[in-house]
Structure formats: structure tokens, C-alpha cells
Structure 1
Amino acid sequence: MSFISTALSPQSRREALDQMAAGELDVLVIGGGVVGAGAALDAASRGLKVGLVEARDYASGTSSRSSKLVHGGLRYLKQLNFRLVFEALRERSLILDTLAPHLARPVEFIYPLERRFIDRAWVGTGVGVYDILGAGRGVPSHLRHLGKKKTLEYFPGGKKGGIHGGIKFYEGQLDDARHTMMLSRTAASYGALCANSARVTGFLRNGDSVIGVHVKDLETGRELDIKAKQVINAAGVWTDEIQKMTGGKRNFRVTASKGVHVLVDRHKIPSKTGLITETEKSLLFIIPCPWNDDFWIIGTTDTAWDLDLAHPAASRGDIDYILDQANRLLEVKLTRDDVVGVYAGLRPLLAGESDETSKLSREHAVVSPVPGLVIVAGGKYTTYRVMAKDAVDLAVKSLPGKVGKSITATVPVIGAEGYTPLKNNVDKIAAETRMTSLRVTHLLSRYGSGIKEIVALINERPELGEEVEHAEKYLKAEMVYAVSHEGALHLDDILARRTRVSIDTPDRGVACAPAVAALVAPLLGWDEAAIANEIEHYNARVEAERESQIQIDDQTADAARLGAPEVRVGAAGS
């Protein structure tokens, strides 16, 4: 099988901006999160001339900070929203089976039963319906009711006097940041012009109609105008800010809900499966980390957030809440000392009458408030493709000529084509590349058939086959590839999203930062001063996040997190 790769490199970014400024696009998408990347792919695969601009980095907002689950949503079933559950389960199947099998996988979970009889009837019915709805949709249909003894065999770390049984079923998971970036690369492979560090500062108008946008290149300070027949605002939690630039009435309001997660060492929670339970405020997930088997991800919170959108801060209260909820299930309690990494993200929810974010809609809306502009908002990660399709469907109604229907249900992302045969030949690849089978498996789960390009880099420069010191899960080739092919422009892009060094190493990547910066400097044109600047900014970010995580509430945590300046020129306030 062939592997078609389009590199998101510093050069391709510059060329994309030049080309966007030189002519008129059919569709320009604002926002490089999963919905924006999905919209760019949808439009480009229909044969349209497409541009994608992102103010910071691909997936730098919500789309790198989720629970890493591809799921139908048990909470929506509780709300009797069967349509949303069924839609999400269908999309789960597409992601796991067709679109991104190299990035997504089924994971076994147990829902521990803490109340005798009541939980068995209530939870069993709900999860049973969920399992039936999802039958054959991406994960095994294998719901099992377990007694106390069997539950504790699967979950030996469970609280002996507090767990009276369990229900075992499957969900899906993926590394969200890599998936979103690969969606952008896939869009580029179909001709989309993609540029991160490109912030929209206003709209071009012809009377009431939107005919394009003003953009500032945050890497150079250059300002340019990009004309487009249709503009799609897929800015997530920044949707309202982009709406304000039109000067008209808002069609709907997006509110932000903060979700916090922590990473702990795998041995701290003895369990053969993931765990899901309900808390008074949200669902609690204890999830095998999709990119590093040494950790569990535990979350989440669901609280209103009206402070800085770019850098939501996890407070001490958030972390303590997560640990307290997890400890309800555990015989040996977790403490703050067990926390290796922390991340906080914002869900963009359509505002309703309730002030409680957990009750706001996860459904999405698509509107065209003025000619030439389409806004898509709300939704959930799993249903990104439907949101993107709906947005492009509305946009193309105003385009001249006939435009084909969406085909993204059959368009795999880069790395998916040829992945399964490679997965079936792990030992052979290991022997040929002189890597361990474990290393090859790790690379396949991150790059799919793109592993061929990683191997090519190592063959060209054998030293790139070495592990990164102080971040041994990763190879030096992966750091170089993050810049040469995956659009990373800054140290933070590499350590926080192309890899997960910033949350899966105890020092949050501080020790490896100098070596990584020196490794990628030639590709990014950094001199010694630029290298020092990148390291300084990265260390400041880590320190600010650590400081925020010992603050008692959102306000003090936000103030602490904002102590770290932006590394992108002019990014503050974007």
C-alpha cells in the first residue's frame, strides 16, 4: 500500500500564507482544533480551494486536553438523548475502524457498583442499553455483570468494603492532539493551505457580507488579508470573540466548562481495566494512558470558567476533587505526591437556561449570521466529523456551481493507510530496524504507516535513533519529525502536543528541553539567542502551571498561570 504524506513544515506554512494572500479561496476555516481541521479536510476533499488558519498551534486549545475517549456519552443516555448517543456511537465506529485505527483503540472498562442492588439495577440498565446501541460500532459488544469477587480480580486495588460488584464493557480512546494535527495534515494532502501562528484580527467586508479576514502572522508580525467566498468560524471556546468581530447580534452564546485531568503511575492503581463511575458533578474516568502505558489518566471536573481561555488553570481544589473521587474506589489512597502530570481544558458548550455547565448542551449548532460567514459551535470531540460536515454543507450552499457531498466518512487520516499490515509485522520491522518490538509498537500507535518516514530519518542520520535523554519514551527522530512534518514551531508545540513530555515526565520536560531545542534549531532557523528564549519560555510555562496547581481557587490559579508570557509574538489576547 502507498503512503501519501504531506509535510506541515516551516516552509510549507510560509508558502500557505503567501498563497492564501495571493488569491481568493472558496472556504477559509478559522480554528485549528478538531472541528476546524475536520472542516478543512471536508471542504478540501470535495475539491474546493481551502485555507485553514490557527492563532496558536494545531489542537492547542480544547482538542489536546480532552479525556482521550471516543465515546457515545453515558451521561447523554441518562438525559434520554438517544439521537446524540447513537450519532456519537456511529462516529466512534468510524474513527476506530476506518478513519484513525492507528491512533484509536478499544479499551475495556469496569463500572464499579458501590451500592448494593440499587446500582446493579440502575447502572446495569443504563450501560446495557448503551452496549446494545453501540453493538458492532468500533468496540466489542461484550457487556458482563460481575460479582464482587470477579470485580476485584479485575480491579485488585479496589476498596474491599466499598465495591460490591461491577459491570464490564468497552469504550474507545485516542491521543487527541496527534489526531487533530494529522487531520490538518490530511487536509493539506488534499490541497488545503494550512498555517498555525496566524491570528484572525478582523473581517473583510463588502456591505453586510463577509468576504475574508485580516490575519496577523505571529511568527513575523506580518499582516495580510485573505479573501474567501465563505468563512467558517470553528474557533471553539473563542467563538464568541470571533462573532464580536462581525459587529452584529450574536446568534448563540458559547460558555466554557473546565475539565481537569491528572496522570499517576500505573502501579498506583492495581487494575486490569479502566474504570468509570459517576460523581455528584461529573463522570470520573480512570483511563489507561493511550500514548504511554506507564500511566493512568484520571478525570474529570466540569465547572464554569470565565477567565483566560488560552491557558485554563487547574487549581489545588480541582486536583484534590479528582483525587478524592478516585479514592472512593481505592483501598490504598492517592495523594498529591502521586500526581505526575496535570492538564486542564475547556469544553465549548452552547449556553442554555441552566447555570450548571454539566447540564448545558453537548449538541452543536451551525448558523450563517451574515452572508459569507458560517459559525459552528458546541458538540463533542467524537462527533467532530458531523460538525465539520454540517458547517461545510451550509457554506457550500452559497458557492457557485455544483459541489459534491461530504466523503469524509471514507477518508482515513494520514498514517491509517497500510497501518494494519504493519501492525501485523511488528517483529519483522523490529528486526529490520534494530528496534525493540515495544518501540515499534509505540511508533505505530503514534504515526501509523508514517513510521516509514521516521525510519527514513534514522537511516539518513543514525543518531536520531537514540532516545531523548530525560524523556526516554521518545526518539530524537520524533522531535525532528515534529518540525519537519507536523507543523511544530516552538518547543512547547513539540513537548506538549506532538509528544506528551510536558505531562508524562515528572519534571514536565524541563530537563530535556535544552537538548530538544538544540536538535530542532537548524530546522527553525534558531540561533543561540532564540534557543535560550525558547527554553526560558518553556520553563516559565512549566513553573507557572506548577504554581497555579497549588492555588486554592480559579482566580488565584489563573493569575499564577498568566505569569508566563506567550512565546508567540503578539499572541497575548488572541
Structure 2
Amino acid sequence: MTQTFSANKRSQYLRELSSRELDVFIIGGGITGAGIALDAVTRGLSVGLVEMQDFAAGTSSRSTKLVHGGLRYLKQFEIKLVAEVGKERAIVYENAPHVTTPEWMLLPIIEGGTFGKLSTSIGLRVYDFLAGVRAKERRKMLKRSETIAREPLLKRDGLKGGGVYVEYKTDDARLTLEVLKKAVEHGATAVNYTKAERFIYGSDNKITAVIVRDLLTGSTYEIKAKYVINAAGPWVDELREADGSKTGKHLFLTKGVHIVVDQQRFPLQQAVYFDTENDGRMVFAIPRDGKTYIGTTDTQYTGEIASPRMTHEDLTYLIETTNYMFPTVQLTEADVESSWAGLRPLIFEEGKSASEISRKDEIFESPSGLLSIAGGKLTGYRKMAEKIIDMICGKEGITASGMTESLILSGGEVGGSKNLEAFISTHTERGVGLGLTGSEARKLTRLYGSNITKVYDLLPAAKEEAAKYHLPEAVLAALIYGLEEEMVMKPIDFFNRRTAALFFDIAWVKQWKDEVIRYMEEHFQWSSEETASYREELEHEIQLAATPKAGSERQKQPVAK
């Protein structure tokens, strides 16, 4: 049964979810929950999913936006993890090439730094072997002159050489959406802005249903399910507490922060992964779409889960770190266009610092039957999903095995990764023929992959309405697609999770926000109060992205014992 994923039918989906007993009900609409929904529904299970914010609004839109191979885990002797995520990133690339791009990463070798020339060479060679890296993407060691040629902005003092290896850039929020859209295509039902408020138990004290509240309308629904999966990311422990089953291991939240600078101000040629001068933490500097973004700091976080923010302390740290490694750039706070902060829900390990804690995932099964999954990495989402659905299938005597390893995700039908550029070229030409500029058509094709045909089909309607709303046809077509195919409910959904513009093109957000709000106001028939609320929310997010907050929340490294 093929489902739709339209904002216009959201209340209908909730009514349908409450009208029957599901095999699997998932709480959490990040990459983990989306992956579980896809694995479960493709094995023939009936699946429902709710997310209390927008899909991917938490960790899954606030990562370093890399499908990691896990080089840092080799340093921690996480051999099995390196091998697994190395394989998984290749699977993600083949199944969703439109949102996954190979990126050569330069690891500079600095005298007195964390990485020596011999240890780096051996480490990268072992990494290539464990991760099953393809021959053309295997590591190369560089002389000092070659390293400088790759990235002339690097500090020269103490530079001994470098190593290069391949990572994969991604749009984390769009990857989550493409997984979720594929799950919906196969029959899953997913709804955003819906909060799981309490569990209902049977006479045997097993969970039989979940009471959820539609946060946009206030309506509540009872959703029955044989199995309830807690994939709520940083909120996993809160649901375990609600179930009375938070015992033993618990979450350890760390915060990563990133800043975005225009490439005219920081003309980085080559992605660089480097250790900092004083504390040895690792930082990425990555070029993307005319911008350069820098992060992360990986510190323990004990603040408000729903709204982690970059502090002035974080900002100063990243600017000083960047200016140390790229001394001629001399960034200032005024150069930072936007920023974001995200939480990593790791499993606490006694005596380990935030950057040392393992990224391995774990499943907790409570006496009530609640299955909670935490830890892990974006790269390993598919294996995490497979693991928990294998557990359920084992309990139910279901023999169907997972099929997601070779399942092309929504938008990924481009003829394989090798054909991506040809696909983009062909559909860019088509877009130009439909009246778009070359840059507009290419941007849309890169964003939506094979779903670009659906976006182009909306252009006639967009042409008719564009003048009325003073919007470019390309922007309006993307917005209509988001409403009809990606459950865009608020302006912030469109400008952040659907287009990534809030982080990487904040000027574009400011340029079109009023017109987009006006269109959505008429589309949803919002009251003046609703429109004002959604406008205020968007303006608040723009301000926070552009301006780190003063002071700092309580964040520290755990004391080793």
C-alpha cells in the first residue's frame, strides 16, 4: 500500500493511525527512527511514526553533515565500528547519491601535533583496509610542498606534510527525509509535530498503546501497537523515565557546534580535518556551495535539550582554532554568517571525556516491552534499524530479512552514483527549457535528485501564482513540493530542514521569508495569530543562527576516575 506524505492530510494520517493496531510504533523522526520505519515496513510490518518537532529537527539536521568512515574511532581502537561504518557509508552513497558526495579530506601533519607522519600513514592504510575503501579513494601521503599545494591557506610553521583520504559529505536532514519518504512510499505513516505524552499498559504491565498529542491542533489520539520503539535521540532517557525503566546505563549528551563563513572571506580549496593547538580536539573545515563551515567542539552538555545553542565561548573557540590553522585568514565574529549546534546522544562511559566516548549504539528493553535505541552515528543508521527490527522479527517468528542494503532511497533513482553528473546535466537542461535559470535548475536537481520530475511538474501552477506572491517560480515550485510531498507545516521547516538555507544561504531566507509566509498563510488558512507565531518563530531562528547567545550553558568534560 503506497501512502502519501502531504501536509494537507496530516490530521487524516493521525486518525488512521489511531484506528487500528500497528505492528511497530516509533517515537522519533530523526535518521534513526526513519531508518527503523523503512526497515520494518519493507519486511511487511505495519508501521507508524511520530515526531514532536519537525522531522530531523534535532540531531539529524545539526551534525557535521558527513557520512563518516570513522577514522577517529581507529584512534580509539574501535576496529569493528570502523569496518562497519566504512561499509555503511558506501551503501548510503549508492542508495542516495544525490545527497551524498565523496570529499577528499586533508589531514595536515604538524610538528608536535596529535598525528605523526608514520602513525598517520599506517593509520590511514589500516583504515582503508578495515573500511573497505575503493582503490581510487584510498589514502595518499603528501610531502610538505604537496600539502601546501592542496591547501595554500594552511599554516606553514611546523608543517611536515599531510595525508588525504575520502569522507562523504551529505545533507543530513534531506537524507533523513529521503529515508522517511521511502518508508511512506512502502506504506508507513509518519506525522510531525506530534508528541508521545504517556504510555498505556495492559493487565500484564506491558505497553499496549501510546497517547499522542497533535501539537498544532491540540487533539489527542490513542495509538495501539504490538511494539513501541523509543528512537527519540536526546530525549530517549525522558521516555525511559516516563516508562519507569531508566535503570543501568544512561545517555551522555555532547554538543557539537559549527559556524559558516562565505568562501570569499575564507577561500578554502580543500576540506581539512585538523587537531587544535591546545586541547587536541579535532575540527573540520569544509567547503560547501560557496561557503566554508567549521566545527565541532564535542563538549558535555547539560542544558535544555530542545534548544542547544552556540555560545559566545563556542564561537571564540572555533574562530581562534581556525586562525591557528589558517593564520592568513584572520576570521572575526563579523565574518560568521550563520551557525548551528547539535546534540549527540551517546551512552555514558565512566571516566571518559566527551570526545573519547564510543559512538556504538545500544538497545535497551524494559520490562514493559519498550524498546529504546541510543548512541550510534548517522552513518550507521541502517544497521541500527536492522538490529532492532531483527529483534522484533525474532520475537514474532518472522523470517523476512532486511532488504534496505540495496534499496534505492527516494530521489536516488539517478542511474547510480557514476551517472549522477549526467543526470544533473540532463535535468538542468530540462529546467532551463521550462524557464528556469541554469543555476536554479541545477540547484533544484541536486537537491531533489530523481524527484526533480515532480518539482518540474509543479512549475505550471507555480508560474500562475508566482506573480501574485512575488516569488520566483523555482522557489514556489520547491515550496509546493514541500507541502504536497514532504509535510512542510511551518516556514522554518522549508527554510531549514527542506532546503538547508538557514545555515548555508541565510540571505536567501531573509529575501523570501515574507512571501513564503504569505503563501503558507493562505494555503493553510492560518489565523492572524498563527501567522504571527510562525513568523516570530522563523525570525527567532534566523537571529539565533546569525548571533550566538551571550555567556555559556554549563558544559564541561567529565572527570576521569
TM value normalised by structure 1: 0.89
How far off its partner does 1:140 sit? Answer: 3.6
Tell me which of 275, 278, 287 is aligned to 2:272: 275
Distance 2:470 2:291 in 1: 19
**C-alpha contact (below 8 Å) 2:463/2:473 kept by paired residues:** no
Task: Tell me if the contact between 1:162 and 1:329 (Cα under 8 Å) persists in the aligned partners.
Answer: no
Deviations 1:487-515 (A, max 9, x none): 11111111121122322245583443211
Partner of 2:283: 284
Aligned partners of 1:429 and 1:370: how far apart in 2? 57
Q: Report whether the alignment pairs 1:133 with 2:134.
A: no
Match of 1:252 in 2: 249
Which range moved further: 108-117 or 312-321?
108-117
Match of 1:297, as an amino acid?
Y
> Residues of 1 paired with 2:124 and 2:264: CA distance?
28
- Partner in structure 1 of residue 10 of structure 2: 13
Cα deviation, residue 253, structure 1: 0.3
Instruction: Select which of 54, 79, 87 maps to 1:82.
Output: 79
Cα 1:536–1:424 change in 2 (3 A) is closer
Aligned to 2:234: 237
Answer yes or no: is the 8 Å Cα contact 1:251–1:369 preserved in 2: no
SS at match of 1:521: helix
**Partner Cα separation in structure 2 for residue 481 and residue 332 of structure 1:** 40
CA distance in 2, matches of 1:267, 1:166: 25
Equivalent pairs, count: 544
Q: Indicate yes or no: 2:376 matched with 1:375.
A: no
| Structure 2: stretches of 5+ with no match in the other structure | 556-561
The reply on whether 1:329 has 2:325 as its aligned counterpart is: yes
Cα gap change, 1:544 to 1:284, in 2 (>3 Å) = closer
Closer, same or farther: CA 120–499 of 1 in aligned 2, 3 Å: same
> Offset of 1:151 from its aligned partner?
1.7
SS at match of 1:357: coil
C-alpha contact (below 8 Å) 2:428/2:445 kept by paired residues: no
Q: 1:560 — aligned with what?
A: none
Q: Which string of whole-angstrom CA distances, capped at 9 and with x for unpartnered residues, describes residues 320-379 of structure 1?
A: 111211212212221111111100000010011025211222101113212532111110
The 5 Å alignment of 1:288-299 reads 288-289=287-288, 293-299=289-295
Decide whether the 8 Å contact of 2:51 with 2:195 is kept in 1.
Answer: yes
Contact 1:134 1:141 in 2 (8 A): no
**Which residue in 2 is equivalent to 1:453?**
454
> Which residue, 300, 313, 327 being the options, matches 1:304?
300
Per the alignment, residue 147 of structure 2 pairs with 151
Q: Secondary structure at the match of 2:520?
A: helix
Asked if the contact 2:466–2:473 (Cα under 8 Å) also holds between the matched residues in 1, the reply is no
Q: Cα distance 1:314–1:281, how it changes in 2: closer, same or farther (>3 A)?
A: farther
* 1:204 positional shift: 1.3
1:515 paired residue number = 515
- TM-score between the two structures when normalised by the length of structure 2: 0.91
Give the letter aligned to residue 100 of structure 2. A
- The answer to whether the 8 Å contact 1:154/1:271 transfers is no
Spell out, residue by residue over 1:513-543, the C-alpha distance to the aligned partner (whole angstroms, 9 max, x if none): 2111112223323244432331122213333
**Residues 1:42 and 2:43 are matched in the alignment:** no
SS in 2 for 1:459: helix
Contact 1:155 1:270 in 2 (8 A): no
Which residues in structure 2 correspond to 1:32-111 (within 5 Å)?
32-97=29-94, 99-111=95-107
Give the secondary-structure state (helix, strand or coil) at the position aligned to 2:160: coil
**Are 1:432 and 2:445 an aligned pair?**
no
* Residue identity opposite 1:298 in structure 2: I
CA contact 2:268–2:292 (8 Å) conserved in 1: no
CA distance in 1, matches of 2:506, 2:251: 35
User: Which residue is 2:537 aligned to?
Assistant: 537
Equivalent-residue separation in structure 1 for 2:105 and 2:75 (angstroms): 18
SS of equivalent to 2:137: coil
Which whole-Å CA distance do the structure 1 matches of 2:385 and 2:474 have between them? 33
- Mark the CA change 1:427 to 1:303 in structure 2 (over 3 Å): closer, same or farther: closer
Residue 106 of structure 1, CA deviation:
0.3
- Contact kept, 8 Å, 1:107 with 1:173, in 2: the verdict is yes
Distance 2:448 2:30 in 1: 19
Partner Cα distance (1:465, 1:158) in 2: 46
CA distance in 1, matches of 2:508, 2:309: 16
| Mapping of residues 154-233 of structure 1, within 5 Å | 154-206=150-202, 207-233=204-230
Deviation of residue 75 (structure 1)? 1.3
Give 1:566's aligned residue. none
More off after superposition, 347-356 vs 225-234:
347-356
362 and 152 in structure 1: CA distance in 2 versus 1, 3 angstrom threshold = same
Aligned partners of 1:153, 1:531: CA distance in 2, in Å? 52
Q: 1:351 aligns with which of 338, 348, 352?
A: 348
Distance 1:492 1:271, change over 3 A: closer
How big is the shift at 1:281? 5.0
The whole-number CA distance in structure 2 between the counterparts of 1:223 and 1:267 is: 50
1:54-110 Cα deviation digits (max 9, x unpaired): 11110010000000101121110001111000100000000112x211110101121
Residues 191-242 of structure 1: CA deviation (Å, up to 9, x unaligned): 0011111100111111321112110110110111100001111111100000
Structure 1 residue 361 and structure 2 residue 355: aligned?
no
Tell which deviates more after alignment, 51-60 or 390-399: 390-399
